[in-house]
Amino acid sequence: MSSVRSAEAEKAAKLLRIQMPTSTEAVAKLKRSAIDKEYSSWKGLPCQGDGVEEFKDRLSNEWLTRNDLLSSGRMIDALRMRTNTYGNRTTLIRAGHDHLSHLCRVCENRPESLSHIIGGCPELKPRVIKRHDEIGNLVESEVSKKRRNLELLRESTFRVSNGMLKPDLVVVDQGRAQVVDYTVRYEGTNS
């Protein structure tokens, strides 16, 4: 049995150009190098690579580990959006549907990209506002559930030295205020 494993290890080492015998540190270093190379390659892709750097942190990926947040259909759509493979015209043309116009189906003024659909299309502005308000309601509801003795000021106007400010939400707790401004935007180098 160990001779079979040894032969498999020797074969794998030869394919990976690893000098045998080797150490776990050398294998870990090689693995890290391969991961870094693949990450750089992914980041360099013109469409799927856009936003990779921005979505790198743990908090941005939390939804991927929880199966209680989205239905399966919404999860699939979210993954398609995250990987820039959602069925907008920019993606469809990239996939070989050259007969399509690249312009937005709604406003017909700009290329129909995910960034444009989520926040740039003037015709979809009412939906953007509705989504913003739904997020606000969700944030307010969740904050209220956690601590009942908070004061919540939604879209209140505040005079400051250089004008007026109107944050989405101010959470006041024991004399301390936290300003919460939420937005749903596409984040990437090309947006």
The pLDDT, as a whole number, for residue 148 is: 78
> Does 48 score more than 80 pLDDT?
no
Residue ranges covered by each domain of the chain = 2-43, 123-186
What tens digit of pLDDT does each residue of 4-46 get?
Answer: 567 887 888 788 777 777 778 888 888 899 899 998 888 887 6
pLDDT-derived band at 2 (thresholds 50, 70, 90) equals low
Q: Are strands 176-180 and 169-173 parallel, antiparallel or unpaired?
A: antiparallel
Mean pLDDT, residues 132-146 taken together: 89
Greatest Cα pair distance, the chain, in angstroms, is: 78
Q: What is the DSSP letter of 19?
A: P
Mean pLDDT, residues 142-156 taken together: 87
The CA-CA-CA angle for residues 20, 21, 25, to 5°, reads 105
Q: Which residue has the higher pLDDT, 21 or 157?
A: 157
The pLDDT, as a whole number, for residue 187 is: 61
- Characterise 104 by phi-psi region: left (phi > 0), alpha (psi -120 to 50), beta (else): beta
